[in-house]
Structure 1
Amino acid sequence: MHERAGTPATASDLIDVEALVRAYYERKPDASVPAQRVAFGTSGHRGSALTSSFNEDHILAITQAIVEYRSAQGITGPLFIGADTHALSAPAQTTALDVLVANKVRVLADEFDDYVPTPALSHAILKWNNDPARRAEGEADGIVITPSHNPPQDGGFKYNPPHGGPADSDATSWIANRANELIAGGLADVRQAEPSGVETYDFRGEYVADLANIIDFDAIRSAGVKIGADPLGGASVSYWGAIRDAYDLDLTVVNERVDPAWAFMTLDWDGKIRMDPSSPSAMASVLEHAGDYDILTGNDADADRHGIVTPDGGLMNPNHYLAVAIEYLFAHRPNWRADAAIGKTLVSSSMIDRVADALGRRLWEVPVGFKWFVPGLVDGSVGFGGEESAGASFLRFDGTVWTTDKDGILLCLLASEIRAVTGRSPSELYRDLVDRFGDPAYERTDAAASAAQKAALGKLDGDAITATELAGEPITAKLSHAPGNGAAIGGVKVETADAWFAARPSGTEDVYKIYAESFKGPEHLAEVQAAAKAIVDAALTAARSS
């Protein structure tokens, strides 16, 4: 924890926005340098213009590659495009439009030149593709320009295909490889033109009007729930006022400032400015208002993450809120399929497992990445999909798809519905779960690892782990593939009756991440973490020598 974590940012913490944007246009990536190549993670390509990892050349190449990909896939409908409030997002959108227009792609940008949250773009794609008349004109897809909660100097660029969610690895690998070819070739095959003739779409109006089909606003209004919403300077800034006005709610937008340097933020755990609504340090200034509202919420820069603050519990741990949301939804959505599963990533809390078992619902456990929930949300076979990093979405009242990307606005509104319908805060309801199922201690830590060790961990098979015991308990499972869909974890997960750990290599640092949880308390969790490192290190040593 940085010594200034949770304290207000000072002038020395702020980026030079003009210099950052200038670097976007002036710096040219070297395709022979791995750190400067296009690389798609679970949420698109991310980087900074200052390190030559997110520059105009990257966006020219990625956009051209997307054009070629969608053509090869027979995607002939419109492409929705939107951007968040990061300084690099607006220039990146301009660059992308140059390429899309030159390639004669029909583009729909925001009608009011507003910022576009990730869930609003996913919603737009699905609304188009689920309308037979519109779909007859061709399937739609989209580009959302955001590095999510990342620091102000970062940029991000993500492709969402016709299913509306994050593209799968087959698509992103093809797009990244083609983009790197284009950069290495001096962008000779990239088409550019002035972005004229771009059509518009009312992302905000369409999204807000449709919320009545997924959130019980009558209950919230009747109960007089007093709501505070802090967009944290992100893309949801004008959405919250529109929601208040559309549904006549007692809702205050706590902070309406948009500043690409985020000078109003408090520093995150590591001393950086980061718009993470699940971080007590990043949310420190928001938490000062905890007693002023029945429900107080925060969102990150593209509003795909949520933070829930209650007067009696403060900022909720994301795992805790997911468990409460799941139990509430499956008891208050009678028109969902009787066999609709509960989706969770394998590094989310096992409290969710216990809730699912009590509900008599199938648990669908998948690798890290929201893309894995897409098929189930589309066909209604998964009622709720969530991950421990405060990202989730769920179905409409009628059991049909809402978004196939994370929706932080939706999960924030759900907290108010829960408060209105049950008369109790989500924090109170979580304490009920603890009384019934136990009180898990959960933490993520990092362990040093070389590039070779990370590569080995990513390919490690559960059978390579020879240990039979974890922190005094018999090991019941050693997984390298997710139980829900059989997809590779990109690491390992080891389970006992009361604890588990998962280890995955970091995509950006020379560490591997250890996620661990114990229902026997913090001391046992520490034992699990120590044992996890020893077990993984032994397996990596054995793999290297074999």
Structure 2
Amino acid sequence: MNPVKIKFGTDGWRAIIAQEYTVDNVMRVAEGTALWLKQQGSSRVVIGYDCRFAGELFTETTARVFGKHGITSLVAPGYITTPMVSLGVVKTGADLGVVITASHNPPSYNGYKLKSRLGGPSVPDDVSAVEALIPDAVPQDLPSYADLVEKGLVEVHDFEQMYLDHVYANFDVPLIRNSGIGIATDAMYGAGQRAMKILLPGAVHLHNEYNPSFYGQAPEPIGRNLTELAETIKNDPKLALGIATDGDADRIGLFDADGEFVDSHHILLLLLMYQYEYKNIKQGEVILTFSVTDKLKQLATMYGLPYEVTKIGFKYIAEIMATRDVIVGGEESGGLAVSGHIPERDGIWIGLMIAEYMAKTGKSLKALIADLYAKVGSFHCDRDDVHVENDRKWALVKQAEENPWKKIGPYTVTDVQHVDGSKFFLDGEDRWFMVRPSGTEPVLRVYAQGADAAEVRKILDAARETMGI
């Protein structure tokens, strides 16, 4: 039987458990990783796993392959978040991080992410190099995990405590706890559950227990997956903030006191405002992916800060953060990062920063957003993921690039930009729609920005009608 060809996607290798994600295939990926590490002269790796099924088994499997090559594995005593692995790599001076996680994918999936020694995603060239070294054959004659522990080739480190100490050193946690701000969290049965309970003991905690099935819900912190959190806030006048984290706690979902979802576009702007105006961080760059609101460029310009637009995918932001001073960087899908931390998405960190912003100003999240609108104008963003046949999808992408539409519905196209997909500006700069294909599914993503939800819906509908989807 031919072995499965293992490919790393935008954020690691992911596959369905017991179908392609098997012990044998994890051994093969670990073997490719070990061969790459030996080429680099590297010998210490942090390995962590989240709350998914058999995370401990796959971690031990990876450590056994590494141990055969004389590579030391640094492991936690239980599940940890992806940012805890990334921070652990930096704090211990390890050469690489491996996270056994499928992040926000459905519970039937698991995965394998690579983290660089700088504390963020490994750069694409390194990931490709590891992928190229994955053998077809399953490694044989591996040492037992117990033997590796005895020989010192497996070390246990409390990476969660290391992370908590880092939080305490960088946030005014007592201020947040004593501010009177009622907070509700939703760990989505993910790896952030323990840390959130420790950091915010007075909060209302939902789905904060170990359950690898996630009750059948993909642990992705988007509005439609967080109805229970929204209702909890709506029904309790004492609650003013909702923080949700995904399966490995590197992404965030946020809610205001009315139980209204606050998207990543708004969070990025708030993070920039807080750091520039209240934390007095006046130097550094703003990095945004192509699908993020242009209001972030507008605010950066108001502050006299340079900005750069990248392709979509946090790895492009992390690559810049590794070598340059970045105040805030982020993508539309909930991956956000700030200065003073590792170049990594971190849902817990971002949630605490918004809570600290509220505590220091004494303002509600809605009031902070009103302050933001006073600077850049009000706006709303949304996206439709439209299922279309692959041939049709690529034909529309080609048309957007080569023969772009001049008008959609009542709107005139005044400018078109092509970076990672195509963005069409409508009657000025504040309204736009964008078209981008999914690389893995027969899906066309259609994004839009307008003054409010009703206008965004109108733009999305007009764009879809023009494209015949």
Equivalent of residue 357 in structure 1, options 296, 301, 304 = 301
Q: 1:503 to 1:474 in 2, by over 3 A?
A: closer
Mapping 1:145-164, distance limit 5 Å? 145-164=100-119
Mapping 1:78-93, distance limit 5 Å? 78-93=44-59
- After superposing the two structures, state which structure 1 stretch, 214-223 or 417-426, moved more: 214-223
Alpha-carbon contact 1:225-1:250 (below 8 Å) kept: no
CA shift at 1:140, angstroms?
Answer: 2.0
The answer on 1:303 being equivalent to 2:258 is no
Structure-2 separation of matches of 1:190 and 1:501? 53
Paired residue secondary structure (2:274): helix
Q: Deviations over 1:215-260 (max 9, x none)?
A: 233532453433333322111122123324xxxx644544432111
Q: Name the counterpart of 1:314.
A: 260
Q: 1:250 to 1:359 in 2, by over 3 A?
A: farther
Paired residue secondary structure (1:288): helix
The answer on 1:287 being equivalent to 2:287 is no
Q: Name the counterpart of 2:17.
A: 49
Q: Deviations over 1:351-385 (max 9, x none)?
A: 32332233332222211111112244334521111
Alpha-carbon contact 1:227-1:293 (below 8 Å) kept: yes
Q: Name the counterpart of 1:492.
A: 422
Alpha-carbon contact 2:433-2:459 (below 8 Å) kept: no
The answer on 1:518 being equivalent to 2:450 is yes
Structure 2: 5+ residue runs without aligned partners?
Answer: none
Q: 1:536 to 1:89 in 2, by over 3 A?
A: farther
Q: Name the counterpart of 1:105.
A: 71
Structure-2 separation of matches of 1:150 and 1:72? 32
Q: Deviations over 1:388-413 (max 9, x none)?
A: 112212122xxxxx122210010111
Q: 1:424 to 1:58 in 2, by over 3 A?
A: same
Q: 1:73 to 1:276 in 2, by over 3 A?
A: same
Paired residue secondary structure (1:327): helix
Alpha-carbon contact 1:373-1:382 (below 8 Å) kept: no
Alpha-carbon contact 1:159-1:167 (below 8 Å) kept: yes
- After superposing the two structures, state which structure 1 stretch, 227-236 or 55-64, moved more: 227-236
Please tell me the residue identity of whatever aligns with 2:44: P
Q: Name the counterpart of 2:30.
A: 63
CA shift at 1:327, angstroms?
Answer: 1.4
Q: Name the counterpart of 1:445.
A: 384
The answer on 1:258 being equivalent to 2:210 is yes
Q: Name the counterpart of 2:130.
A: 175
Alpha-carbon contact 2:448-2:456 (below 8 Å) kept: no
Alpha-carbon contact 1:304-1:406 (below 8 Å) kept: yes
CA shift at 1:157, angstroms?
Answer: 0.8
Alpha-carbon contact 1:499-1:517 (below 8 Å) kept: yes
For normalisation by structure 1, the TM-score amounts to 0.76
Q: 1:119 to 1:514 in 2, by over 3 A?
A: same
Q: Name the counterpart of 2:86.
A: 122
CA shift at 1:293, angstroms?
Answer: 2.6
Paired residue secondary structure (2:293): coil
Structure-1 separation of matches of 2:455 and 2:194? 45
Alpha-carbon contact 2:317-2:329 (below 8 Å) kept: yes
Structure 1: 5+ residue runs without aligned partners?
Answer: 1-28, 130-138, 264-271, 397-401, 482-488, 538-546
CA shift at 1:273, angstroms?
Answer: 1.3
Aligned residues: 457
Paired residue secondary structure (2:366): helix
Alpha-carbon contact 1:327-1:359 (below 8 Å) kept: no
Mapping 1:34-433, distance limit 5 Å? 36-50=4-18, 52-74=19-41, 76-110=42-76, 113-129=77-93, 139-179=94-134, 182-183=135-136, 186-187=137-138, 192-195=142-145, 196-197=148-149, 198-244=154-200, 250-263=202-215, 273-279=217-223, 281-290=224-233, 291=236, 292-334=238-280, 336=281, 338-396=282-340, 402-433=341-372
Q: 1:224 to 1:77 in 2, by over 3 A?
A: farther
Q: Deviations over 1:395-446 (max 9, x none)?
A: 22xxxxx122210010111121011011112232213333543333322223
Alpha-carbon contact 2:44-2:96 (below 8 Å) kept: yes
Paired residue secondary structure (1:171): helix
Paired residue secondary structure (2:440): coil
Alpha-carbon contact 1:498-1:520 (below 8 Å) kept: no
Equivalent of residue 501 in structure 1, options 422, 433, 437 = 433
Paired residue secondary structure (2:163): helix
Alpha-carbon contact 1:339-1:362 (below 8 Å) kept: no
Alpha-carbon contact 2:396-2:467 (below 8 Å) kept: no
Structure-2 separation of matches of 1:364 and 1:277? 26
- After superposing the two structures, state which structure 1 stretch, 60-69 or 424-433, moved more: 424-433
Structure-2 separation of matches of 1:120 and 1:378? 17
Paired residue secondary structure (1:476): strand
- CA RMSD after TM alignment: 2.8
Alpha-carbon contact 1:457-1:505 (below 8 Å) kept: no
Paired residue secondary structure (2:225): coil
Alpha-carbon contact 2:299-2:375 (below 8 Å) kept: no
Q: 1:313 to 1:128 in 2, by over 3 A?
A: same
Which 4+ residue blocks in structure 1 deviate beyond 6 angstroms?
Answer: 455-458
Structure-2 separation of matches of 1:252 and 1:446? 32
Structure-2 separation of matches of 1:307 and 1:528? 23
Structure-2 separation of matches of 1:193 and 1:492? 51
Structure-2 separation of matches of 1:254 and 1:534? 42
Alpha-carbon contact 1:465-1:535 (below 8 Å) kept: no
Q: Deviations over 1:98-117 (max 9, x none)?
A: 2111111111000xx22110
Please tell me the residue identity of whatever aligns with 1:464: E
For normalisation by structure 2, the TM-score amounts to 0.88
Alpha-carbon contact 1:470-1:528 (below 8 Å) kept: no
Structure-1 separation of matches of 2:130 and 2:22? 17
Structure-2 separation of matches of 1:341 and 1:381? 6
Q: Deviations over 1:266-308 (max 9, x none)?
A: xxxxxx61112232x3212222321343323221111111122
% identity of equivalent residues: 24
Paired residue secondary structure (2:130): helix
CA shift at 1:529, angstroms?
Answer: 5.4
